[in-house]
Amino acid sequence: MVVEGGAMRGIFAAGVLDCWLHHHYQPFDLVLGVSAGATNSVGYLCRQPGRSRKIISRLARTRRFFDPRRFALGGHLADVAWLWHESRKVLPLNLGNFDEACPLLVVITDVATGQPRYLQASRDNLDPLMLATCALPLVYKAMPEFEDKPYTDGGMSDSIPVAEAYRRGARDITVVLSHPLGYRKKPSRLPWLTQRLFKDQPQLAQTLLDRAKHYNAALDFIESPPADCRVQVVAPPPDFAVGRLTMDKAKVDAGYRMGLDQGLAHLQRLGLQEAASA
């Protein structure tokens, strides 16, 4: 399974994965998660339905996490370190279940090279790895270090690591997207600004400028996978109204319900009527 990120848009995947947990659907041999998709995957592999929803719809909507005034004064717009550590405190993880689950590969972006790395999460590296994969450039001012090297949000270099799943031998891949089907990412309209903002990290700047190309290439793979590979997609409906930084509770709650509905529809497409009707 591949789970895309997208900050608050992750509420959709939270609904999908909660639905599957409620119906005891955990058939995967490997999970790849990016940013909010990685944190959602942790809750899924710990078998804790409702946890990711509470993080996104409650903690992430507080001023302690999202604060435009703090950002204007030079601080974080979204304090992902606080969010992750606060969630660990108020919503403790069932790490016993996590230890027994299939491997979770987390995507992070190497600041020096601009390239993605795919690292297996464990209880020993979970905290720094989650911080690194969620640290959106500029929105979170710091570049978190992992293994003594600076990293940033995994979605900058590989937002939908479906091709990586294929390279690792996966031939039946389920992808949970954060945008409705038909979405395509547009190139940056201000490439000079990206180059200026990241003048000290030129490889990262180039990765950001190439992001739309790489993102759309992943969508091309999903739409036309190799002949020996099946890709199944669970995506938000066209009226999904949650953006990266949507704080409106009604929209976030509606996005979660859409995830529940689409998760159930996926089970029904698979012919798991008994599970879907339980």
> How far is the C-alpha of 197 from the C-alpha of 200, rounded, in Å?
8
Q: Do the Cβ atoms of 185 and 213 come closer than 8 Å?
A: no
Residue 142 CB neighbours (<10 A): 13
- pLDDT given for residue 53 in this prediction: 98
Q: Is the pLDDT of residue 94 over 60?
A: yes
Residue 147 pLDDT class (50, 70, 90 cuts):
confident
- The CA–CA distances, whole Å, from 195 to 192, 198, 208, 212, 266 equal 5, 5, 9, 16, 42
pLDDT per position as a tens digit, 4-47: 999 999 999 999 999 999 999 999 999 999 999 999 999 999 99
The predicted model scores a pTM of: 0.94
pLDDT in tens, 39-80: 999 999 999 999 999 999 999 999 999 999 999 999 999 999
Q: What is the mean pLDDT of residues 218-240?
A: 98
In this prediction, residue 277 has a pLDDT band, given cuts at 50, 70 and 90, of: very low
Q: Which pLDDT tens digit goes with each residue over 171-214?
A: 999 999 999 999 999 998 889 999 999 999 999 999 999 999 99
CB environment 14-32: b (16+ within 10 A), e (fewer): bbbbbbbbebebeebebbb
H or E element at residue 274: helix 273-276
How confident is the model over 107-145, as pLDDT tens digits?
A: 999 999 999 999 999 999 999 999 999 999 999 988 998
Bigger pLDDT: 272 vs 132: 132
Phi-psi region of 2 (alpha: psi -120 to 50; beta: other; left: phi over 0): beta
How is 164-226 classified by DSSP, letter by letter?
A: HHHHTT--EEEEE-SS-TT--PPPPS-HHHHHHHTTT-HHHHHHHHTHHHHHHHHHHHHHS--
pLDDT at 146 over 90: no
What is the mean pLDDT of the segment spanning 139-166? 94
- The number of residues in the chain equals 278
Is the pLDDT confidence value at 274 over 60?
no
Structural domains of the chain ordered from first start: 2-270 (3.40.1090.10)
pLDDT at 150 > cutoff 50: yes
Categorize the per-residue pLDDT at 273 as very low, low, confident or very high, splitting at 50, 70 and 90. low
Mean pLDDT of the chain: 95
Closest by CA position to 87, among listed 25, 122, 38, 20: 38
Q: Which residues are catalytic?
A: 35, 153
Tell me the pLDDT band of 278, cut-offs 50, 70 and 90.
very low
Which amino acid is located at 18 in the chain? Answer: D
* Average pLDDT over every residue of 82-98: 97
Residue 240: how many CA atoms within 13 Å on its side-chain side? 29
Tell me what pLDDT residue 102 has: 97
Share of the chain above pLDDT 90, in %: 94
Q: Are 154 and 5 in contact (CB under 8 A)?
A: yes
Alpha helices by DSSP H, listed for 23-161, are 36-45, 51-57, 68-72, 80-90, 95-100, 126-134
Over its C-alpha atoms, the chain yields an Rg (Å, rounded) of 18
In which band, very low, low, confident or very high, does the pLDDT at 152 lie, cut at 50, 70 and 90? Answer: very high
